[in-house]
Amino acid sequence: MRTATVRALWDDVASIYQDVMVPALREPHLAIRALAGDVGGLDVLDLGCGTGAMSELLGPGGARVTAVDLAPHMVAVARERLAGVPGVMGVEVMDAQALDLPDSSFDLVVAALSLMFCPDHAAAFAEVHRVLRPGGRLVMACWGTPDQCESVTVGRVAARFADRRPPEGTPSGQALGDPDHLHALLKGAGFGPIDMTSRRMRLRYPGPNAMWAAVRHVHGEYIPADRLENARVATMAEIARVGLPLRNTGWLVTATA
Mean pLDDT of 222-230: 97
CA torsion sign, 113 to 100 to 17 to 137? positive
Q: Highest mean pLDDT range out of 1-5, 95-99, 171-175?
A: 95-99
Residue 199: CATH number of its domain: 3.40.50.150
The pTM (predicted TM-score) of the whole model is 0.96
Task: Tell whether 164 is covered by a domain.
Answer: no
- Helix 150-159 to helix 208-219 angle, to the nearest 10 degrees? 60
Range of the domain at 72: 2-145+170-203+248-256
Residue 109 contacts residue 45 (beta carbons within 8 Å): yes
Mean pLDDT, rounded, of the chain? 97
Task: Tell whether 174 is covered by a domain.
Answer: yes
* Residue 204 clears pLDDT 90, i.e. is over it: yes
Task: Tell whether 239 is covered by a domain.
Answer: no
Task: Tell whether 233 is covered by a domain.
Answer: no
Task: Tell whether 96 is covered by a domain.
Answer: yes
Q: What is the pLDDT of residue 1?
A: 72
When divided into structural domains, the chain yields a total of 1
Query: pLDDT-derived band of residue 166, with 50, 70 and 90 as boundaries?
Result: confident
The 10s digit of each residue's pLDDT in 118-130 is: 999 999 999 999 9
Task: Tell whether 87 is covered by a domain.
Answer: yes
Q: What is the percentage of the chain residues whose pLDDT exceeds 90?
A: 94
Mean pLDDT of 227-253: 98
Q: What is the pLDDT of residue 168?
A: 83
Residue 167 or 200, more confident:
200
Task: Tell whether 218 is covered by a domain.
Answer: no
Task: Tell whether 98 is covered by a domain.
Answer: yes
- Helix 121-131 to helix 179-188 angle, to the nearest 10 degrees? 50
